Homo-oligomer: A and B are copies of this chain.
Amino acid sequence: MTEEENDAARRHRAKMEKRKAVQDAEVAGKTIAQQGLLMVHTGPGKGKSTAAFGLALRALGHGWKVGVVQFGKGQWRSGEREMLEKLGPVSWHTLGEGFTWETQDRARDEAAARRAWDKACELMDDPDVRLLVLDELNISLRYDHLPLEEVLSRLGSRRADLHVVVTGRNAKPELIAAADLVTEMTLVKHHFSAGVKAQAGIEF
């Protein structure tokens, strides 16, 4: 190495050492070891449900039982269901009737949301369930198919070791306020706008 290269390597090492010190201090600052999290995946981008099913995959890897309640999109996700059920205990319930612009019937939407929420409550009472995915619950809340207060109060009183993931666009601000972790999936660019159809393996 020339002296210049040595200098550059030294500067790089010093910079990285400083960064590592900051990172280590951050990790040392965490003191709460275990807590059931309320997680929200929202925003107009892709990956909200997909990331929730990724979490389910991880949970099954830890030997946990997983609950899934789908408040919408009844016809989709059957591939994920079959796959997850091969890996461990999964209690999966598709109780939505599809998007409201498909059903065009408010009373029916409300009844479907109520059935799905009842099932969610049942799964929260199952002490074996460690991760509960409430897929598209945000849509039911957005259209007021379920009373927000009731949902927040029940989620808030769940047992301490139960992780819950709520997905769907337009999460209510009150849910975001109650959550431990909120990720917004933002659409930077989408192939649909270039005329590509939904296709097997990617969209469903």
A residues sitting closer than 8 Å to B (CB atoms) are 9, 12-13, 16-17, 19-20, 23, 26-27, 29-35, 37, 40-43, 45-47, 49-55, 57-62, 64, 79-80, 82-84, 86-87, 99-107, 130-131, 163, 176, 179-192, 194-202, 204
CB distance from A200 to the nearest CB of B (A): 6
List the B residue with the shortest CB-CB distance to A130. B201
Q: A13-B105, A57-B54, A191-B37 are in contact. Are A186 and B80 (CB under 8 A)?
A: no
List the B residue with the shortest CB-CB distance to A38. B191
Q: What would 9 A/B residue contacts be, using CB atoms closer than 8 Å?
A: A13-B105, A16-B101, A37-B191, A42-B188, A46-B181, A54-B80, A57-B84, A60-B83, A179-B189
Give which listed residue, B27, B83, B131, B202, contacts A87 with CB less than 8 A: B83
Give which listed residue, B33, B187, B197, contacts A197 with CB less than 8 A: B33
Give which listed residue, B29, B37, B191, B204, contacts A181 with CB less than 8 A: B191
CB distance from A57 to the nearest CB of B (A): 5
Cα distance, A47 to B43, chains bound together (Å): 13
Q: Which residues of B contact A180 (CB under 8 A)?
A: 189, 191, 194, 196
Q: Is the CB of B82 within 8 A of A202?
A: no
List the B residue with the shortest CB-CB distance to A187. B183
